[in-house]
Amino acid sequence: MRVAHHASYVPWLEEARTELLRTSGIAYSQLEAAGVFLAVIGLQIAYKRPALYDDLIDVHVRVANVTRVKIRHEYEVRLAERPGLSPAEAEANRRAGHDLLITAETTLACLDADGRPRVLPSWLAGAPAAT
């Protein structure tokens, strides 16, 4: 069908979260070694326009809210480049907001090694807010 499958977006969001964490100086493996596990307990996606095969996309993520045991992220997936689209057409799309492919939100719960809720460590709760 030439379009990216709707489920393709979920791993892209996960990669963006992982990179956001990495830019704060924390690798996910460090979380697990510290007995901290982040489980997705909520996911919402609003599909605006389809990504096509061979499109280049940008995934923007930010920490929207942090509580004692949860982190909520907000995302925008935008079209960065599409084969066959001239630079002028791409710029017109951006100006009109037609580069926005999806908006999304995830809620992650902090769990211990036994899968029980635990308080977010202070060093994680202070991670950067956006990339």
Q: Is residue 20 part of a domain?
A: yes
Neighbours of 33 (CB within 10 A): 9
CA-based R_g, the chain, Å:
17
Q: Is residue 1 part of a domain?
A: no
Q: Is residue 74 part of a domain?
A: yes
Percentage of residues in the chain with pLDDT exceeding 90? 81
Total count of domains within the chain: 1
Does the pLDDT value for residue 16 go beyond 80? yes
Host domain of residue 111: 6-125
Whether the full predicted model's pTM is greater than 0.75, yes or no, is yes
- What integer pLDDT is reported at residue 131 of this predicted model? 45
**Average pLDDT score, the chain:** 92
Print burial letters for 68-86: b (CB count within 10 Å at least 16), e (below 16).
eebbebbbbbbbeebeeee
Q: Is residue 19 part of a domain?
A: yes
CA terminus-to-terminus distance, the chain? 32
Q: Is residue 131 part of a domain?
A: no
Amino acid identity at 36: V
pLDDT per position as a tens digit, 115-128 = 999 999 988 877 55
- How deeply is 127 buried, as exposed, middle or buried, from its count of CB atoms within 10 A (0-12, 13-18, 19+)? middle
The answer to whether 82 touches 33, Cβ cutoff 8 Å, is: no
How many whole angstroms from its chain centre is CA 130? 10
- Give the domain CATH number at 17: 3.10.129.10
Which strand (E) or helix (H) includes residue 96? helix 87-96
Nearest to 14 by CA among 48, 36, 45, 51: 45
Q: Is residue 119 part of a domain?
A: yes
Q: Is residue 121 part of a domain?
A: yes
Q: State mean pLDDT over 29-55.
A: 95
Q: Is residue 130 part of a domain?
A: no
Percentage of residues in the chain with pLDDT exceeding 70? 96
Structure tokens at 125: 């709760």
